[in-house]
């Protein structure tokens, strides 16, 4: 069976996830998270990928990243994987694959979905019941985006910068995004597009993608609309 094509455009944000094989752990100690972030920073600089948000969970990784080229993100994951898998195998005396196949991803429309996607990523530890609030989790971008903690890995997206005229105002505005409940329909769209690789955005955005790439990007399968929020 042929692989579903990826839809990448230079300078268009991408939501990406990579899971451990059979959803097994990929991080075992604090040193592992630090090692992964170190190679991620090197790869982001090397392949011109601007990382806006991230979370490192026990058995998977989420990134919100804008690559400057259509090949940048793939090369980033290849670079990190090559060094990190070798490090894990050597450190823990293991062999075999670490990842569950290739990473999954979808491009994201800026205006409506990008900050929702960032919030979705940084709320992963809360949804998983690991912490009660995102500021309690060490291995995500929340403390930088919301609280101003220095992190050289991150590059603010223009939409984030538009949240306020200075760092303090932007951080307060970003915190405010986390005080409202997620509309279940947005959650469904985020998850369905990531799973299928379908561009996340309105019809106008998808039409633009199809015109540039000259391919049909398809539609996300959705269930019956629900009005409740989570």
- Per-residue model confidence (pLDDT) at position 219: 61
- CB-based contacts of 12: which residues, under 8 Å, 6+ apart? 66, 107, 108
Q: Where do the structural domains in the chain lie, given as residue ranges?
A: 14-182
For 123-152, the pLDDT digits (tens) are 999 999 999 999 999 999 999 999 999 999
- Per the CB < 8 A criterion, the answer to whether 43 and 74 are in contact is no
For 211-224, the pLDDT digits (tens) are 877 777 766 554 43
Match domain 14-182 to its CATH number in 3.30.465.10, 3.40.50.880, 3.30.70.1290, 3.40.190.10: 3.30.70.1290
- Per-residue model confidence (pLDDT) at position 220: 57
SS3 33: helix
d(CA 66, CA 226): 31
- Per-residue model confidence (pLDDT) at position 221: 52
- For the chain, list residues with pLDDT below 50: 1-2, 222-230
Entry pTM: 0.90
């Amino acid at each position: 069976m042929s692989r579903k094509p990826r839809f990448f455009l230079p300078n268009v944000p991408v939501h990406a996830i990579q899971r451990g094989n059979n959803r097994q752990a990929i991080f075992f100690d604090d040193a592992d998270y630090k090692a992964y972030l170190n190679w991620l920073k090197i790869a982001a600089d090397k392949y011109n990928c601007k990382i806006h948000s991230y979370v490192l969970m026990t058995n998977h990784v989420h990134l919100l990243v804008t690559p400057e080229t259509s090949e940048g993100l793939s090369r980033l994951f290849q670079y990190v994987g090559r060094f990190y898998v070798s490090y894990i195998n050597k450190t823990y005396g293991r062999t075999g694959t670490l990842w569950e196949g290739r990473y999954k991803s979808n491009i994201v429309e800026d205006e409506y979905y990008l900050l929702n996607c960032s919030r979705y990523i940084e709320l992963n530890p809360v949804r998983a019941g690991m912490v009660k609030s995102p500021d309690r989790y060490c291995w995500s971008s929340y403390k930088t985006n919301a609280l101003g903690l220095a992190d050289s890995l991150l590059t603010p997206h223009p939409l984030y910068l538009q949240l306020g005229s200075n760092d303090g105002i932007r951080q307060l505005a970003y915190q405010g995004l986390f005080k409202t409940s997620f509309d279940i329909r947005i959650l469904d769209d985020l998850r369905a597009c990531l799973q299928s690789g379908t561009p996340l955005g309105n019809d106008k955005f998808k039409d633009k993608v199809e015109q540039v790439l000259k391919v049909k990007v398809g539609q996300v399968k959705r269930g019956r609309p629900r009005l409740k929020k989570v």
